[in-house]
Structure formats: C-alpha cells, structure tokens
Structure 1
Amino acid sequence: MIRKIALTLLVTAGMAIPAMAETLKVGVSAEPYPPFYTPDADGNWSGWEIDLMHEVCKRIDADCVVAPVAWEGIIPALNTGKIDMIMGSMAITAERAKQIAFSDKYYDSPTGILAAKSLDITPDAEGVKGLYIGTQSGSSQENFVNAHLADSASGVRVYQTLDEELQDLAAGRIDAVVGDTLAMQPFIESDEGKACCHYVGAVKGDPETLGRGVGVGVRQKDTELLARVNKAIADIRADGTYDTLSKRYFTIDIYGE
C-alpha cells in the first residue's frame, strides 16, 4: 500500500512538472560579423542578430545557444544535425533553397563597394575595370562578383573573412571590397577606414545572386519549426520589438522594402 501511494505521488509530481523547453543550436559564422554577431574574450556572443535570435527563441519556447561554424560548412552542419537553425546573416538565394528551407526575411542589407580613397569609381562593372577586388568566400557577394564584376576586374581575391579583405584594402593590397554595407559600416566609420577608403555606393540588386533578404535557415523537413519561426518574426515586426532592437545598432531601417 505504501509503495502504491509513493508511486502515485511520484506520478502526480511528475505531471505537475512543466515541459522542458527544447534546446536549439543556432549556427553563425565562426568569424565575427559586427554589428550582427561577435564574441567577446570569453566566447560570449552579442550583436543585433544575437538579440533578435534570443527574441525569436523566446517566442517559440526554445532555449537557444549560439553555435559558431566555419561559414563554408554551415549548411552541411545544419543538414547533418550538428546545428538546428542558421541565423547568421544568410541571404535567401535559389541555390541555397535547394538545400535548406528559409524563413521569411528578417532584414535586407544592400551590397556595396568600398574602395581606396584615391579611386573615383562607380559601383558597377565599368567602375571596377582594371582593379583588384576582394570578396568573402561562400557569400552572396562572391556570387555577385563572379556573375557581374569578375570579367571587368583585373583580378578577384577571395577571403575567408570580411575583416581580412578590409585589412588588405587598408594596406593597399587590393583596390576595392564588395561586401554587405551594414557589416562594413563599423570599418567605414573607424579612423582606419576614414583614412584609407571611401564608400562608393550600393550595387544594383540582383535577386539571383544577392538573394531576397536574409532569413533563418532550417532543415527542409522541419516544417513545424519553420512555421513557428515565421510567426515569431511577424509578431516581432508587428509589436514594435524589431524597431526597438534595431535602434540599438542602426540609424536606418534595415528591414528593406
């Protein structure tokens, strides 16, 4: 009898315990990408995209942890289950959509050209004619450069990180960088950036290479998770939370049209 009562109490207590929130690993590039995401000396990540990630995760009742992954391996990491989502400024492109599913966009930054201060050029194929330009490996900007600028340029140098190409630009080893305008903004506004370079302007948009904004990446089979993420993004936009988070980092509307 005592054993039955004890068992009943255990079952009842177990029923009273709320369900544990699921834990999701959210992939970002292992390299810092300020102001979107960057680690401190202790490996703690912060930035606009990290703030947004935590807000999305709160609304889908998930405990999320940042999982840095080499950018070129981030889609395989998702599809093999090493991470559960990608929320690392990944542009929504047709090529990537063959491999993973994307949420609705949550921001849309223009691609622009940053050039040596001595160069008076335009942000197009004619403007980069005869120049050495840099771009980041595996990025939508690399796709754009290969499709629209490579034939005009004297050479294209591909870098693992945005920081590496910006440092080569500052050192005069390349003439211009084609990159995400918002990601380049901290460098553009820095003393080093002001001394060496100037922002030429945004390139003409091309959805085939530059995508249709930035979205959360999930496995194609995870349709229920995708629906929850889309609702969270819509609610964050609708109730003003998106604007509140963005104003901490940007002076412009980064959502786009």
Structure 2
Amino acid sequence: MFLGRKISRVAQALVIAGVSLILSAQQSVRAADEGMTVKVAVEGGFPPFNYLDAQGKLQGFDVDIANALCDTARLSCEFVVQKWQDMIPDLLGKRYDLIVSSMSMSAERRQTVAFTDTYYNSPSVFVVRKDSKLTQIDSETLKGVTLGVTSTTAQEAFADRHYRPATPITVFPTSPDLYTGLADGSVDVILEDKLAIYDWLTNTKAGQCCEFRGDDILDPTFFGEGAGIAMRPADDDLRLRLNKALAEIKTDGTYDMINAKYFPFSIR
C-alpha cells in the first residue's frame, strides 16, 4: 500500500513536471513569437496613406493597417521612414523586412519582390486645373501638353509607355511636389493614384484649384491588382502570416474602422 502510494506520487510528480515542461515550452515559443521584430518601411510623404504629422510622428492609412496587422500577427514592428526611390533596393539589401507604403503590385515589381494579398485597390486618374480646356484625355489630346508624374511610380512607367515622346513629361521627386507643380502651372495635367490625391483635392485649400478629368485607369500590367505589402521572396512564412492577419482584420471589422477614418467609401 505504501509502495503504491509512493509510485502514485512519483507518477504524479512526473506528470506535473511534464505539464510544466510543456507549458514552459509553449510560453517560450509564444515569447519568441511575440518578440519577433519586423522592420517596416514607409515613405512618410504620401497623405492620407502615410505622412509625418506636426510632431514628426508617422500617421495614415498604411501606418494604421501595418499596426493592425502586426498586432494580429503578434509581431513587434518598427517603422523606418524611407525614400520612395530606394524602397525595393533597400528591402532586398535587408535594411528592413516589409514595405507598407501603398505599393502597387505591378508585373515588373513582382519580378524582384513578393507581395501579400491586396490590402486596397485604387485606379489612377488624370487631374487638371478647373480652368483647363482638356475635356477628354487620351494619347491624342495629350500631344504637346505637359504631363506630370512622380518619380519611380507605376504612373511614371505608364506615361513613359503610352505618351512619350509626343507628350512632354515632367517627373517630380514626391507626390506633394507633383501637386504643387499642377497648382502653380508647372504642368498642365498630372497622372496620380486616385485615392492618394483625393485628400489633397478635398481637404486642402491648394487642392481647390483642381479636379479629376477623364476616365479612371486600371491597367494590371502597370498597376497590378491593387496595393500589397512587399517583402523578400524568400520570406514566404511571413507572407502567409500576414495574409492570415489581413483576412482576420477584414472579418472582425478592424479594417473597416480604419477605412472609415480616412475615406467615406470602401477601398477594399
């Protein structure tokens, strides 16, 4: 009887020890999981998607989506403000791990980086000053008209392919510079992402000068199937993890709350 109790206590102790080891292992995995640090590149000059506020803090739709995905995927994310032209080279150079900066998933970019599922979609559009005589915009009406685009964007590639050399094209370093160039008459028309320029047209005094003109442009060859989060092709586990988190925030209402903060319409 005594021996039986002794064996029972030993077995109980082993079970407790085993459970403790399992829990400890699970906690270690969870701690490692939660402690995984991912560096996220954002341009910081593309309102309302990403910009620096008066205190120099990153704000915008891209930033809020990135934070929501990091929380849901249990990642510790650090933001890196990065020049647009260096986004992909520095991603491949491992300066950071993700680009969450309204990057369209063009066929050209897919040759060098991997993307998550689409996290928003937006056409490109022509914008002119309200007094512009351009009523219809196509390759014929743009002949001899100065067209503005932002450097190293899908809009620049599209304009190069379809409008040069008949159309003089001015390339601006950033989107704010592009908008200023249109407002002050440096160019006659610009080609820009519709959602990106919506905020400038709607919510700024300078933007009151101008309006959309012509048809929306949706060309998957240049603009892909919307904006995605870019990463190195080898990081497939991270891509799958973010896709799962993206599906979750779209299901639980988090995505819609962020959407409503910036736009009065859905951009899914």
* TM-score (norm: length of structure 2): 0.84
Q: How does 1:117-196 map to 2 (within 5 A)?
A: 117-121=130-134, 122-153=136-167, 155-189=168-202, 190-194=204-208, 196=209
What are the superposed Cα offsets for residues 82-134 of structure 1, whole Å, 9 maximum, x if unpaired? 00101000000111111110111000111011112222322422332221011
Given that 1:135 and 1:179 are in contact with CA atoms closer than 8 Å, whether structure 2 keeps it comes out as yes
Task: Specify the SS of the correspondent of 2:211.
Answer: strand
> Shift in Å at residue 191 of structure 1?
2.4
Pick one of 28, 36, 50 that aligns with 2:42.
28
Pick one of 71, 77, 91 that aligns with 1:58.
71
Q: CA RMSD in A?
A: 2.0
Task: Specify the SS of the correspondent of 2:46.
Answer: coil
Instruction: State the one-letter code of the partner of 1:94.
Output: A
Gaps of 5+ in 1: 1-11
Given that 1:188 and 1:197 are in contact with CA atoms closer than 8 Å, whether structure 2 keeps it comes out as yes
1:228 is aligned to 2:241: yes
Given that 1:111 and 1:202 are in contact with CA atoms closer than 8 Å, whether structure 2 keeps it comes out as no
Given that 1:140 and 1:211 are in contact with CA atoms closer than 8 Å, whether structure 2 keeps it comes out as no
> Shift in Å at residue 221 of structure 1?
0.4
Identity %: 33
Task: Specify the SS of the correspondent of 1:90.
Answer: strand
Structure with the higher fraction of residues in helix conformation: 2
Cα distance in 2, alignment partners of residues 240 and 202 from structure 1 = 32
> Shift in Å at residue 198 of structure 1?
2.0
What are the superposed Cα offsets for residues 192-214 of structure 1, whole Å, 9 maximum, x if unpaired? 222x3221144332111122110
What are the superposed Cα offsets for residues 47-106 of structure 1, whole Å, 9 maximum, x if unpaired? 111111011011111111211111111111111110010100000011111111011100
Cα distance in 1, alignment partners of residues 232 and 92 from structure 2 = 6
Cα distance in 2, alignment partners of residues 242 and 123 from structure 1 = 35
Task: Specify the SS of the correspondent of 1:254.
Answer: coil
1:250 is aligned to 2:258: no
Instruction: State the one-letter code of the partner of 1:19.
Output: A
* TM-score (norm: length of structure 1): 0.88
Count of aligned pairs: 242
> Shift in Å at residue 144 of structure 1?
1.0
Pick one of 180, 193, 200 that aligns with 2:213.
200
1:68 is aligned to 2:58: no
Greater gyration radius: 2
Instruction: State the one-letter code of the partner of 2:261.
Output: R
Cα distance in 2, alignment partners of residues 104 and 147 from structure 1 = 27
Gaps of 5+ in 2: 1-20
- Of stretches 15-24 and 160-169 in structure 1, the one that deviates more from structure 2 is 15-24
Cα distance in 2, alignment partners of residues 149 and 234 from structure 1 = 38
Task: Specify the SS of the correspondent of 2:218.
Answer: coil
Match of 1:7 in 2: none
Task: Specify the SS of the correspondent of 1:89.
Answer: strand
Cα distance in 2, alignment partners of residues 235 and 128 from structure 1 = 44
Match of 1:6 in 2: none
Q: How does 1:24-103 map to 2 (within 5 A)?
A: 24-29=38-43, 31-103=44-116
